[in-house]
Chain A
């Protein structure tokens, strides 16, 4: 499990922050990436106001609701996003970057189990990571959209609170909707 983010190129603002996960792993992350996690941003700004001396890498931000494996993936995704402080690229560079990102995203999704997607979404929600949520929510929506109702119940751990006769009535009404469903 990687603890630190690799950062071979020196950047103009290489202020780093340390994030501590639920399993006590420390992640050193560039400020620009960490700021995409709005919860972290909020915490950081609160800290800045209250303590003038503390800044950047000396602050360790605790994330008790996020496991290290999950945070690693979220940070990796965050790094691939267009940085807000980056110099505006010309049209061609933008296109190639977009293609690279698409390839990265496809590769990422191929290696992820659906259950892991759920963990990523919960963590992204806690961290208030907008772009991550947008991406992983869409990925999960794409995965479950043609699955059966039973599969989805099991997946989210949801109990069916409808009476059998109620459910039967609805199944009849919407029989056409249940056709053509993927095998579990």
Chain B
């Protein structure tokens, strides 16, 4: 038998989307010639050697076979198998395994509801086949406000200490506490997100409060434990598209922790930053002929791209995606037209009958997030009398369905995927 080199990633990872997510997380591993995953027998030989060196007993089945099975088990279920035996502990704790397992991690939306002095989160997961979803409790009974999610890690306000930010993985129970920002921001009305720099393999928290002060960036595990300040996106006061008295920065849209996009109340552009180069720039919005009303659009992540969702009229919503960030190329993905939409109401006794057949006014639908890798969009109604009503729109079949869930007008929705990323000290999060 001839042995063939199949690149330096596991051979069964062959879909384009999977490769991107793997590249997002995998360490800068340079495989030793013994460790290259090629033919089954070569791997077995190296594993035998690994076990002899470590003096651990070899499980009955070749480790590669076990690896390929358990890598597909969702992270939540995988935790208990950590202590099945020492070999499984080593497999599950390895960075390679964590990265591969993350690829199979299912997307969920965390819906935050404010309860007096703390927050409660619910996780929404779309059903694989049906146009329906499941809700589960998420995290702790009393949590701080979740700001952002990246590779399974959550950036959360500390519920007890104002102005304190934490990075937590609820699955592995690991927590990193961030030092106070130089700006002294209480983290109530600012824009902050957790990102992952592919080039340096570092986790970074990017924060903006008063843009005159500039951006504050913190790298997890950094030796000096200090925030770095870089200039904000606007130099002169008149350059700002927003009214300084009324505007607050808000949390940006995160594209897989790589690129962040902030709404700045502008009819022309948004402010973007690639986490790798930490340079803010303007991303111009698509110009669909008419002038853009800056109060009538939402930004969200959709299938790995930034999406610009514009409420054109009360019967039309345009959905654009930024296909090329560097070249600023937008593509109109879809138009939601009230006349073409197939509208249904989910079977829920709490919804009053008068809602049965009336399509919502499209002007009032605010896009919150996307699901099923961009195939489904979630909207809420601007009118707070419709608290608890969400609308799911399935693009391919143009199906719009309304549901009632526990969501308030000001509730935030954070896209999330769980992972087994863990650390004992924060420096573990840095590349070795």
- A161 and B1 contact, Cβ closer than 8 Å, known pairs A133-B12, A138-B72, A141-B73: no
Chain B nearest Cβ from A102, distance in angstroms: 9
B329 contacts partner chain A, Cβ-Cβ < 8 Å: no
> Which of B54-62, B268-276, B371-379 forms part of the interface with chain A?
B54-62
Chain B residue numbers with a CB within 8 Å of A177 are 76, 79-80
B11 contacts partner chain A, Cβ-Cβ < 8 Å: yes
- A130 CB contact (under 8 Å) in B11, B73, B173: B11
- B80 CB contact (under 8 Å) in A130, A133, A174: A174
Chain A residue numbers with a CB within 8 Å of B64 are 125
Q: Which residue of A lies closest to B2 (CB)?
A: A42
Chain B nearest Cβ from A144, distance in angstroms: 7
The docked-state distance in angstroms from the alpha carbon of A91 to that of B6 is 32
The docked-state distance in angstroms from the alpha carbon of A138 to that of B60 is 20
Are B83 and A171 in contact (CB-based, < 8 A)? yes
Chain B nearest Cβ from A118, distance in angstroms: 8
Q: Which residue of B lies closest to A134 (CB)?
A: B12
- A159 and B80 contact, Cβ closer than 8 Å, known pairs A39-B1, A122-B65: no
- A149 and B65 contact, Cβ closer than 8 Å, known pairs A141-B70, A156-B59, A162-B86: no
- A156 and B40 contact, Cβ closer than 8 Å, known pairs A133-B12, A145-B73, A162-B86: no
Are A121 and B69 in contact (CB-based, < 8 A)? yes
Q: Which residue of A lies closest to B72 (CB)?
A: A141
What are the interface flags for B58-102 relative to A under an 8 Å C-beta threshold, 1 for contact and 0 otherwise?
Answer: 011110111011111110110111111111100000000000000
- A43 and B1 contact, Cβ closer than 8 Å, known pairs A125-B64, A158-B85: yes
Q: Which residue of B lies closest to A136 (CB)?
A: B69
Chain B residue numbers with a CB within 8 Å of A57 are none
What are the interface flags for A104-138 relative to B under an 8 Å C-beta threshold, 1 for contact and 0 otherwise?
Answer: 00000000000000100110011010100110011
The docked-state distance in angstroms from the alpha carbon of A17 to that of B84 is 43
A26 contacts partner chain B, Cβ-Cβ < 8 Å: no
Chain B nearest Cβ from A43, distance in angstroms: 7
Chain A nearest Cβ from B58, distance in angstroms: 10
Chain A residue numbers with a CB within 8 Å of B1 are 39, 42-43, 46
A23 contacts partner chain B, Cβ-Cβ < 8 Å: no
Are B77 and A153 in contact (CB-based, < 8 A)? no
The docked-state distance in angstroms from the alpha carbon of A160 to that of B65 is 19
Number of interface residues of A (CB under 8 A): 40
Are B70 and A160 in contact (CB-based, < 8 A)? no
The docked-state distance in angstroms from the alpha carbon of A46 to that of B3 is 12
Are A157 and B73 in contact (CB-based, < 8 A)? no
Are A158 and B72 in contact (CB-based, < 8 A)? no
The docked-state distance in angstroms from the alpha carbon of A162 to that of B89 is 10
The docked-state distance in angstroms from the alpha carbon of A178 to that of B65 is 25
Chain B residue numbers with a CB within 8 Å of A130 are 11-12, 14
The docked-state distance in angstroms from the alpha carbon of A133 to that of B83 is 26
Quick one: which of B69, B71, B72, B88 has the most chain A CB within 10 A?
B69
Chain A residue numbers with a CB within 8 Å of B59 are 156-158
Chain A nearest Cβ from B202, distance in angstroms: 28
Are B85 and A159 in contact (CB-based, < 8 A)? yes
Are A137 and B80 in contact (CB-based, < 8 A)? no
Chain A residue numbers with a CB within 8 Å of B52 are none
Are B68 and A133 in contact (CB-based, < 8 A)? yes
Given contacts A42-B2, A156-B60, A177-B80, 18 further A-B contacts (CB under 8 A): A39-B1, A43-B1, A122-B65, A125-B62, A130-B11, A133-B68, A134-B12, A141-B73, A144-B69, A146-B77, A152-B81, A157-B60, A157-B61, A158-B60, A158-B88, A159-B57, A160-B85, A170-B83
Closest 6 A/B residue pairs (Cβ)? A141-B72, A177-B79, A170-B83, A177-B80, A157-B60, A145-B77
Q: What are 19 residue pairs bridging A and B, where the CB atoms are less than 8 Å apart in the complex?
A: A46-B2, A122-B61, A126-B40, A128-B40, A130-B12, A138-B72, A140-B69, A142-B72, A152-B81, A152-B84, A156-B61, A156-B66, A157-B61, A159-B57, A159-B85, A161-B57, A170-B82, A170-B83, A173-B173
